[in-house]
Structures are given as structure tokens and as C-alpha cells.
Structure 1
Amino acid sequence: MTNSSKPHQFTDGTVPFPPRCCFISTATVPDEPSSFTLASKFLEWRQAMSREFDALVNTNTWTLVPPSCASNLIGCKWVFKTKLCADGSIERRKARLVAKGFHQQPRIDYTETFSLVVKPSTIRLVLSIAISHRWSLRQIDI
């Protein structure tokens, strides 16, 4: 009667943006270093890097081999993250040593690729959220 229309109802599983409701964190994250040089100045970050390196060594993550002219040397970098508790206090500092895989070239540095497999618990979680919001589901292969 007022010439207003009903909002569009999404029935194909799409989610409107911005979402109708969202949670905004009021916790402030302490500064995270952007480089090894900055992180190495702080004891907490040095301990986090030490824990990560020890874990990589203990699990035999890599094997050192002499460099070859037939392949590129792939560097690595440290990534730092501060994990917070629910109340906003610092739970721990986490450091990860990651390979700079974007420097690799197909057929020179690798011949195979790996596709991650989703965990069944993740599928159950997504399905339960979709059901609770009465979203329709589609399955696609990407």
C-alpha cells in the first residue's frame, strides 16, 4: 500500500553483503612485527620462533640438499601472529616459517601439485550453519 517493496530473499545460498548481523571485535591486537629483524628484538617473539623451528626440526619437515643449477633456491620468511583469549588478553605469540612458494616455476621446481582435502568436521559445520539459516545448498567443483 505504501509502494514499498519487500527485500530480496536469497534462496540460492548466496549471502548478502554486508551481512545483516556481524560481530565486531573491540579487542586491540598488539603490534605484530613485519620482519625477522623487528621480531628478533623482543624475547617473546624469539621464543615463538624457537618453538616453531624446534617443531619443524623434530618432525623432519625438510632435508638439506646441495643447490642445483637445474632448480631455483626457494627462500622463506617468518610470519607473526598474536593469539588472543576471549577476554582480549594475549594468549600466546605465534611464529610460522613459510616458504616463498610464489618464486617457484612449473616444470623447473615442481612437476606435481597438491590439492587440499576438506575435513569432514568442516563439512558438518557448514551444513549445520546452512540448515539453521535455512539456506539452500549447491555443490560445485572448482
Structure 2
Amino acid sequence: MQTRSKSGISKPKIFQATAWIDEELHSIKQALASPHWKVVVQEEYEALLKNKTWSLVSLPSDRRAVHCKWLFRIKRNADGSIAQYKARFVAKGFFQQPGIYFHEVFSPVVKPVIVRVILTLDLSKGWQLRQVDINNALQKKST
């Protein structure tokens, strides 16, 4: 059997070392110290308040609280420049136990079959397909 490596055919290896000045964060304290991150954290927090995502209640003694955490990501353009800073406040749902408030949690996830249906409709109807980045999935349209 003749392989590419035996024939001396190889793709040149390109090594790119890039030192990113703005690394992704791991704590809310780091985020609030940076002006870029502080803005996106404030926007996320305001969207959660506007949508009435949570309300403060006392925890029953027989229940365990679902903890939350901040996630930080830097979205980059193809050339490596920063396209956008993204901050999300998410629940650590893996602490849940089946049968205890298990079905009351909503996770907006698209099933693969829905994606295939939309793509099929797009092809058959000749529609234009666009990608959108939804900033806050629960945001209501103001009238």
C-alpha cells in the first residue's frame, strides 16, 4: 500500500503563535474590573431583570438551590480581531434531581430534525438563509 507519507507528499505545517491580550475570564470580579466586560455583564443582567427571569423567594428546607455562574467568551473575526465580548449568566442544571422540579426548567434547544425541516423548506422555496446571533433568547419584543 502506497501512502502519502511514503510518497513524500505532505502538507506544510504552519504554526501560528498568537498571544491574545484580552483572554477569556473565569470570574465576575475579573469582568467588572475591565470596561469591555463590564458593559456586556451589565447588559446581560439588565436583560434578565427586564424579562423577569427570576424572583427572590425563600428556599424550602427540603430543597436544594440550583447554583448559577457567569460564562465569558470572546468572539473573534477570521483575522483574529475581536468581534464581540459575550457574557451569560447560566444555571448549573446538573445539580437537579429527577422528580424534584425537574420538568419546570426550560432549555431553549433546537432539535436537529427542526433544523433539517427548515433547511428543506429553504431549498424548496428558494428562501434566503441567514445566521443570527440572539443576544437574549427570552427577550420580548416591545410594542
Task: Return the match for 2:71 from 54, 69, 79.
Answer: 79
Higher relative contact order (CA 8 A, sep 6+): 1
3-state SS of 1:40 partner: helix
Alignment of 1:125-140 (within 5 A): none
Shift of 1:122: 3.0
Residue in structure 1 matched with residue 111 of structure 2 by the alignment? 118
Residue in structure 2 matched with residue 66 of structure 1 by the alignment? 58
Matched, 1:101 2:93: yes
Could you report, residue by residue, the CA deviation over 1:26-48 in whole angstroms, capped at 9, with x for unpaired residues? 69553111111222221111111
**Aligned residue identity for 1:58:** K
Q: Distance in 2 between matches of 1:61 and 1:27?
A: 42
Could you report, residue by residue, the CA deviation over 1:48-78 in whole angstroms, capped at 9, with x for unpaired residues? 1101111111222223222111321111110
Q: Distance in 2 between matches of 1:76 and 1:70?
A: 20
What is the aligned-residue identity percentage? 38
Q: Which runs of 5+ in 2 are unaligned?
A: 4-13, 124-143
Q: Distance in 2 between matches of 1:101 and 1:31?
A: 26
3-state SS of 2:33 partner: coil
Residue in structure 2 matched with residue 42 of structure 1 by the alignment? 34
Alignment of 1:25-40 (within 5 A): 28=18, 29=20, 30-40=22-32
Shift of 1:113: 7.0
Query: What's the C-alpha RMSD, in Å, of the aligned pairs?
Result: 3.6
Shift of 1:107: 2.2
Residue in structure 1 matched with residue 141 of structure 2 by the alignment? none
Q: For the Cα contact (< 8 Å) 1:77–1:98, is it kept in 2?
A: yes
**Aligned residue identity for 1:44:** H
What is the TM-score when the length of structure 2 is the normalising length?
Answer: 0.59
Q: How has the CA–CA distance of structure 1 residues 90 and 113 changed in structure 2, closer, same or farther, with 3 Å as cutoff?
A: closer
